[in-house]
Homo-oligomer: A and B are copies of this chain.
Amino acid sequence: MKTGVILISHGSKLSSGNDGLFQVTDMLRAMNQWDIVEAAFLQLAEPGFSEVVKRTVASGANRIVIMPLLLFKGNHVLKDIPEMIEEEKRKYPQVEFFYSSNIGADERIALIAADRIHEVLVEKQHGNRERIEQPQAIVNESFEIIDKLVNLDSAPELHRPIIRRAIHATGDTEYAYNLVFHPLAVETGIRAVKSGKNIITDVNMVKAGITNGPVEKFGGKIICKISDKSVVDKANRLGKTRAIAAMQQSTHEMKDGIIAIGNAPTALFELIDLIKKGLAHPALVIGIPVGFVGAVEAKSALKNITTPYITNTNRKGGSAVAVSIVNAIIKLAKEGQ
């Protein structure tokens, strides 16, 4: 099986209008996912579609994916390209043709557009920076860069340090747009830290990242039971994740405290069940697990309980994000002493 991919786009009379397609084609080649990746134009520029199909078949492709590198679903996507493909199918009956969706209104398009808007509104940084080794200078410079990439003016003041820390921890500006805060979340978290309540984490990685000095000074503890023998035994007995068993065994310690879940969707589901049953009473749930199985569903369920929460809206997240949010809240608690 030899797979060819043909990216097809409008052509332009200007070569600057055609360079982009070749650049994206090179990026797809660099992904090493398909045997052949070629670019073709609908009109006004070379090579044309028919010529590229011919060349791809000659190179031995027995299945060809045509990907319309077009943003929106107009006549080209719905009519012109399908007709052109039908013609090629008749010429090469031995080849299997697939027609993929176009780019479409993907959220990444909105993120690129946001970048372009910010770029033109702020001066872009130029030149080579010196290597910076002083810790506070690194954080300051990072935050300066972040503030040029995203505009947090419309975010409530208490949310901003949390959003900045999450972006800082991941390098990912999407946290400017998709962290979701219960209206009382941050105040509640600060109060919990200041009154010496515990912070319960789903995994040891999250525990290891939290700055425990101030928490202990206020009288709280950072607790993760996932490696406790009783938790491991219970999980094995039930055939469930250790994260589930750890939540069940921590209901006493979490009273009025903060739960930080950065890894296991199952821990978040279990916690929500415990809260609904009246068996767990945390003050704030930071639910930011990552993954393909259950993460989005668990986050969506979290937004339907009455306990204050901080979460995000897609499958991303993770220990580093959970830690960055907890540490930002701890810092706010320390500063507001």
Contact = CB atoms under 8 A, between A and B. Distances in A.
A28 to B, nearest CB: 6
Tallying the copies of this chain within the complex gives: 2
A102 B117 contact: no
A103 B113 contact: yes
A145 to B, nearest CB: 4
Contact of A98 (B5, B34, B120, B176): B120
Interface string A2-40: 010101011011101111110110011011111000000
Contacts of A73: 14, 16-17, 19-20
A12 B141 contact: no
Given A317-B171, A318-B169, A132 B294 contact: yes
8 contacts: A17-B75, A28-B113, A98-B121, A103-B113, A131-B269, A170-B290, A171-B295, A205-B209
Interface of A: 3, 5, 7, 9-10, 12-14, 16-21, 23-24, 27-28, 30-34, 65, 67, 69-75, 77-78, 98-114, 116-117, 119-121, 129, 131-135, 138, 141-142, 145-146, 150-151, 153-155, 168-172, 176-177, 203-209, 235, 239-242, 244, 266, 269, 290-295, 297, 314-320, 323
